[in-house]
Structure formats: structure tokens, C-alpha cells
Amino acid sequence: MRPIIIAANWKMNTTPADAGALAAAIAAATAEPEVVRVICPPYVSLAAVGAALSGTGVAVGAQNVHAERSGAYTGEIGAGMLAGLATWCIVGHSERRRDQHETDELVGRKIARCLEVGLRPIFAVGELLDEREAGRAQDVVRRQVLVGLAAAGDAEALASSSLVIAYEPVWAIGTGRTARGADAAAMADAIRAALVESGWPEAAADSMPVLYGGSVTSGSIAEFLSEPAIDGALVGGASLKADEMAGIVARAALTARARRGTT
């Protein structure tokens, strides 16, 4: 049974002075043991958030990591530096692909660095609007998965890793446009097919969680979690509001219990 995961990506918001209070409020509002909860604050707030979440069952994630272990990379953060501060890490987010021109190969190397130090990667993939309108959405995501995983290392080792993939249709992030649950489910199926194509056993591909990450809110989450292929969400702007996160996690808990056949 795949876990239900709700990961909060705070992006470039909060400071060490206010991040701890927000994290604590979210933890208190989302006390659902059936749901894996992760908060990914900016680097400078990792320690404050970690302290606030101690004992709550909510994990801490980083929003990015460098593709090299160490070296002359001013202003960058290596995976080893995150040990003790985070247990998860987002890699390949669409905003980094857009603004920092991150390639699929570079993202794959970041996955490898995460796994080397025990960080659980959330590997983000997704297509642009023109790619979807041209009918190339699944081809684009398939390429991102295949190239990224080829750069990340041995397929057999990756198949037994803790990898999670987040599908984020770039055209539905902060644009007012929305994807449909059926579209996300079809892409989740395409992602798992790409895993098999890359050398994963079918059982390993079937057991890997796929999250949805296109401007998720408490009002829209139900449509995506009603799809058996979708296992949670990577939440952006809504994750800065404790009440929104409470609604999202509450709906996720209903899905988790339904899939386990419990009430």
C-alpha cells in the first residue's frame, strides 16, 4: 500500500523568526497519523522549523540541493550539509528548471546526492502549457523521468530507494488554470510506465508514490485524491496557511483510511 503524502513547499517565504510558529500551527492542525506530512521551508528556516516540529511526527524537507558533494560553489548547499536539518528534499521543481535553467541530467545528479546521505527525494516533473497544447505532455514528462533517473544512478538501486515523484503541470501553477484529476492520474500512469522503461521492476514502479503539485488547495485536493493513481500532494501557496493545510491533510486522511479499508 502506497503512503499518502502531503508535502508543503514554502518557497521563498518566512524567516527564522516566524517559520517556527507557522510550522507548529500546521503540525497542531494536521495531527493525522495516517498521512505522511512534510514541511519544506527555506534553508535559513530549517533549524527553526525542525525545533518546532520535534515530537510532532511532521518531517522537515529542503527545497533544493547542489548536484556536487562539496567544492567551490559559493552560496550553494550540499546534501551532506543538510544532515540533521532535513530528511526530505525537493529536486527539479519547475521554478528552478525555469529560473536556474536546471536540466534533466542535473536534476538526476541531485537525486543521487540526496540518496547518498539518506535524504528522501521528491523528484518534480511536469510540462509547460505549449507542450500540453501540442499534445506532447506525456512525452515531455517521460523524457524528464528517463533522463533524470539515468543520471541518478543504477536502476536497480533506485527501484529499492525512497524516491517520490511529484507531477506538477507548470501551466497550472499560479496561473488560475487548473488541471483535472483524470489528467493527473493519466500522467501518474505514464510516470510509472517510464519507471518500468528505465529498468524498474513493475512491482517497484507500482509501489512508488506519485504526488500532484499544481496549485493545490483544500477545495481542489479531493478531486486528485479520488484518483487511485495519485498518492498525495506537493502544496505551494496554500501551505503557508494552517487552516488550508488542515483541510488538505484531513481529506488526505480520509483517502488513506479508505485505501486501507478502515474508518
> Is the CA virtual torsion 239, 241, 247, 250 positive or negative?
positive
Identify whether 93 is a catalytic site residue: yes
Residue of 32, 66, 93, 95 marked catalytic: 93
Residue whose C-alpha is closest to residue 254's, from 224, 213, 217, 216: 224
Q: Which alpha helices (DSSP H) does 30-128 contain, by range?
A: 46-53, 94-99, 104-116
Q: Which residue has the cell 498518492?
A: 231
Residue of 32, 102, 131, 168 marked catalytic: 168
Contact 35, 256 (CB under 8 A): yes
Cα of first residue to Cα of last residue in the chain, in angstroms, is 16
Element (H, E) at 254: helix 242-260
Distances in Å between the Cα of 192 and the Cα atoms of 52, 110, 163, 186 are 36, 20, 12, 10
Identify whether 101 is a catalytic site residue: no
Catalytic positions: 93, 168
